[in-house]
Structure 1
């Protein structure tokens, strides 16, 4: 069991002839007691200060651990966002390529249809021109025959 200042103060020594000077021993014991009390107080203050520093250290260690975990979580979240963004970009690119292919294929099909329609219209125009030419030539042929001259004379005579 540790020695206390009260133990020092209450300590009594047995008396002998030719022993130590009692006043001097008491004075020395008082001095030891005061120093011992001061050391106990200082030790208690140091323990309290040490406890406070340990609490602060624990607090900062806790903050450091929390920050470390937060940084790891943030890094993982950033990696996940980056990964998701890459996936989404690839999906958008694939979709755009599909749409581009579809648009090109639609345009080619439309171009083919229009080309076929133009060719059909050219054929119809050619047929129409040939028929019209035949009709006009037939009408010109009728106009150039002598039958019209006789018809004109008959009509004039009947009117007169």
Structure 2
């Protein structure tokens, strides 16, 4: 059963002989309610941030897949250019051979460029994941600190 700030605010205690100071009890309950409410808001905010970051990560994955598809297309184009270059070389001799070499060179430069782009995007993704991990760890430390602080306040 989860306790809500409203549960804390509405909690009633029976009065007994030599019981607690009711004003002090209600004052403490109000403090606990406020802290719980703040933690719930912060938790909600963190969940929203995680959802946003997950959406961004999905977008990066889509971009990565698009680049992979482009690479496959470029590799297929290279193969097609090579096949066409061989046929033309048989028909046109030296001139066709020079054109085929230029086409292959351009296609290979495109493949190298696409490979470089993939490596760059993987680095960005790795950096992004590390930033997310640091953010989550930072928030976890804050939550642990709050928990410890609540524990210390409970002991006082």
TM bin (shorter chain): 0.5 to 0.7
Q: Does 1:76 pair with 2:76?
A: yes
Question: What's the C-alpha RMSD, in Å, of the aligned pairs?
Answer: 1.4
Structure 2 regions of 5+ residues with no counterpart?
A: 94-156
1:67 CA displacement: 1.0
TM-score scaled by structure 1?
Answer: 0.54
Q: Which residue pairs with 2:25 in the alignment?
A: 25
1:65 CA displacement: 1.1
Q: Which residue pairs with 2:66 in the alignment?
A: 66
Other structure's SS at 2:73 match? helix
The aligned runs of 1:120-131 (5 Å cut-off) are none
Other structure's SS at 1:90 match? helix
1:52 CA displacement: 0.6
Q: Which residue pairs with 2:44 in the alignment?
A: 44
Highest RCO, 1 vs 2 (Cα 8 Å, sep ≥ 6): 2
1:88 CA displacement: 2.5
Select the structure of larger CA radius of gyration. Answer: 1
1:91 CA displacement: 4.0
Other structure's SS at 1:13 match? coil
Aligned length: 93
Other structure's SS at 2:20 match? coil
Could you tell me how far apart the structure 2 residues matched to 1:15 and 1:80 are?
Answer: 89
Could you tell me how far apart the structure 2 residues matched to 1:13 and 1:44 are?
Answer: 31
1:61 CA displacement: 1.0
Structure 1 regions of 5+ residues with no counterpart?
A: 94-160
TM-score scaled by structure 2?
Answer: 0.55
